[in-house]
Chain A
Amino acid sequence: MTEPTPLTEEAQIAKDALARMLAEMEFPAEVDASETTDQVLLTITSAQPLGVLIGKNAQTLNAIELVLKQIVQHKTHSYGKHLQVDAEGYREDHAQHLRELAADVADRVRENQEAIELEPMNARDRRTVHMVIQEMDDLRTYSAGEDPYRHIVICLPGQEPEGARE
C-alpha cells in the first residue's frame, strides 16, 4: 500500500470537526477524507443507516456541510476549497439522477424547438445540470429567478435572454 498523502490543514480541520459532531450526537460513524486541488470530500460511513444524517432532500447533509464550511473558514481565516459531505453515496446518486433528468429534458427541447424551465434547484444542482448541457453543442442553459426559486432554463442557441448568466 502506498503512503496516503497527508491532508491539508483545512481538510484535517473539516474532518476532525465532522467526527466531533458525530461523536457529540452519539452517532457511531467513521469519517474518511480525500481532497483534490479545489475540493475536500468527506465521507461518512457507519453500520447504522445514515438517513437521519441526510434528511429530506439532503436538508441535514447540507446543514452539516454549511456549518462545517463556517467552522473551517473561522479557523483558517480563508474561504478555502469546495467542501462536500457525502453519506451512503447520496451526492453521487443524486447527481446521476440530475444528469439523466437533464438529458431527458434536452431531448424534449430539441423535439419541440422550445425552451423548457426546470424546477428550482440549489446552486450545486444547477451547476450539475449546466455542466451536462454544456457538453451538448446544440443547446444552451441559463439561470433565472432569485433564490430559493432560482432555476435553470434549457433552450436553443439564440433563445437566451440578453446578458443571461451561465
Chain B
Amino acid sequence: MKGLLEYLVTSLVDHPEAIQIRETEGQKNVAYIVFVDQEDMGKVIGKSGRTANALRVLMRAAGGLHDKAIWVDFNFSRGR
C-alpha cells in the first residue's frame, strides 16, 4: 500500500527526491504522513483539496482490500 502511495505522489510532483512517507501501522489501521517539497504542496493538495481527497479515497479502497483502515495526511519537508 505504501508502494501505491509512493508511486502516485512521485507521479504528481516536480521534486520526487524530496518525498518522504512516514508509516505508522496498527492492527487494523495504517496512518501515512506524506512529506513533499514545499513547492509541490499545491500539486498533492489540488484545487480545494480535490487531489488530496482523491488520493485518500484511493488509499482507503486499497486498504479495504487488505482489511486496513487508512489515514493519509500531507505536509511539506523543510530544507533541501
Contact pattern, B 3-33, Cβ under 8 Å of A = 1, otherwise 0: 1100110011100000000000000000000
A71 touches B54 (CB 8 A): no
Number of residues of chain B lying within 8 A (CB) of chain A: 21
- In the complex, what's the smallest C-beta–C-beta distance from B36 to chain A, in angstroms? 13
Q: Which among A59, A62, A75 has the greatest number of chain B C-beta atoms within 10 A?
A: A59
Contact pattern, A 16-48, Cβ under 8 Å of B = 1, otherwise 0: 010011001111000000000000000000000
- In the complex, what's the smallest C-beta–C-beta distance from B5 to chain A, in angstroms? 9
Residues from chain B with Cβ under 8 Å of A63 in the complex: 53-55, 57-58, 61
Residues from chain B with Cβ under 8 Å of A80 in the complex: none
Contact pattern, A 50-62, Cβ under 8 Å of B = 1, otherwise 0: 0011010001101
A26 to B2, CA, bound (A): 12
A67 to B55, CA, bound (A): 7
A24 touches B3 (CB 8 A): yes
- In the complex, what's the smallest C-beta–C-beta distance from B3 to chain A, in angstroms? 5
A66 to B58, CA, bound (A): 10
A66 touches B7 (CB 8 A): no
B57 touches A59 (CB 8 A): yes
Number of residues of chain A lying within 8 A (CB) of chain B: 21
- In the complex, what's the smallest C-beta–C-beta distance from B19 to chain A, in angstroms? 14
What is the chain B residue whose CB lies nearest that of A71?
B11
What is the chain A residue whose CB lies nearest that of B8?
A67
What is the chain A residue whose CB lies nearest that of B48?
A147
Given A66-B51, A67-B51, do A60 and B58 touch, yes or no (CB 8 Å)?
yes
B61 touches A70 (CB 8 A): no
User: A: which residues have CB within 8 A of B?
Assistant: 17, 20-21, 24-27, 52-53, 55, 59-60, 62-64, 66-67, 70-71, 74-75
Q: Given contacts A21-B4, A21-B8, A75-B11, could you give 9 more A-B pairs where the C-beta distance is less than 8 Å? A: A17-B11, A24-B1, A24-B3, A25-B62, A62-B57, A63-B57, A66-B54, A67-B55, A74-B12
